[in-house]
Amino acid sequence: VANEFEFIDWLRARTPAASRVLVGPGDDCAVLTPGERPQVVTTDMLMDGVDFIVAEVGPRRVGRKAMAVNLSDIAAMAAVPTSAVVSVALPKSNNFSFAEELYLGLRDVADAFGVPIVGGDTNTWHGPLVVTVTAFGEATERGAVLRSGAQVGDAIFVTGPLGGSIRGHHLDFVPRVREALALHAAVELRAMLDISDGLSADLHHICERSGVGAVLFADAIPTTDIAQTMENPLERALGDGEDFELVFTVSARDAAKLLREPPVPVWRIGEIVAKGYWLQTHGERRELRPTGWVHTTT
């Protein structure tokens, strides 16, 4: 996580009203000062054998992922993360250093974004490791960005290359908090989410909620180096999950502005249309499934 500490100062300077902690762990509840702007809240539960294999990756990377997936949801609203609480079920077979490593992993990512862990619930049991993080954030003066605001004619962007996340990126990604805030300051983000189910599935969520369709330009979709070593990089980029890049839409005018002066790296990958869900290759449109598969019969 490079340069994140500098970023925290920038972030705090932008959000003087963000909630501060009055009382942390040790009482029945944490107590936070109220913010001035709407608060955003997200929760994600990660389980051993489903979201990670702790015997293979170790507890520290699990802790990092558990915090990062939640901050990624805060980023998807273009909000400033303010605090988090953590509940864990620790397998009894593990020693104290297991719990400590898990906590250090949570702190690695939380600290990188100036997010205090203000409370939690620590349990042990005979079952596998479970980690639940609930993260809080505060919308900026522009308001929280929802999934429902995409309009016909909007350009569709992503914040980074996609595909092959299972090879390690799904554990080690940096949540796009900085990128979301920089973009939201530069232009009007009309609809946004973070890619967890896969580009094709997640963009389809935006279309459904906004009552619109979309066309993706096959040649414009950036693929990761890892995906390029795999059999079909484009299918990986469309269908793989847990990229945790942001996909968002802006007006044509704002798109031109973003391409001229991008505050962070962005890729223009498609356009919002009135109806349908399409993948366009060399001018030819084929129907795209939300799973990332292309409908090949004509």
Which residues would be at the binding site for its own copies (CB under 8 A)? Answer: 19, 22-23, 26-45, 47-50, 73-74, 76-77, 79, 83, 85-89, 118-121, 123, 125-128, 130, 132, 134, 136-137, 139, 144, 146-148, 193-194, 209
Give me the helices (H) in 113-198, please.
169-172, 177-186
* Whether 268 contacts 196, CB under 8 Å: no
User: Cβ of residue 253: shortest distance to its own copies, in angstroms?
Assistant: 25
Of 84, 160, 149, 147, the closest CA to residue 115 belongs to 84
Residue 120 pairs in a beta bridge with 86
CA dist 156 and 163 (Å) reads: 18
Compute the least distance from the CB of residue 213 to its own copies, in Å.
19
CA atoms within 13 A on the CB side of 284: 7
Q: Which one, 68 or 279, has the nearer CB to its own copies?
A: 68
Q: Which is nearer to its own copies, 102 or 146 (CB)?
A: 146
* The one-letter amino acid at 297: T
Q: Which is nearer to its own copies, 177 or 218 (CB)?
A: 177
Nearest-approach distance from CB 49 to its own copies, in angstroms: 7
Residue 126 vs 282, nearer CB to its own copies: 126
Nearer to its own copies, 44 or 235 (CB): 44
Burial class (CB in 10 A: 0-12, 13-18, 19+), 95: exposed
CB of 123 to its own copies, least distance (A): 6
Smallest distance, its own copies to C-beta of residue 244, A: 11
Rounded Cα gap, residues 291 and 190, in angstroms: 24
Q: CB-based burial of residue 91 (10 Å sphere; 0-12 exposed, 13-18 middle, 19+ buried)?
A: middle
Angle between helices 177-186 and 252-260 (to 10 degrees): 110
Helix (H) or strand (E) holding 200: helix 199-210
Residues 6+ apart with CB under 8 A from 51: 65
Residue 88 vs 214, nearer CB to its own copies? 88
52, two tokens: 């990670």
Q: What's the min distance (Å) between Cβ of 137 and its own copies? A: 7
Min CB(274)–its own copies separation in Å: 22
Nearer to its own copies, 35 or 114 (CB): 35
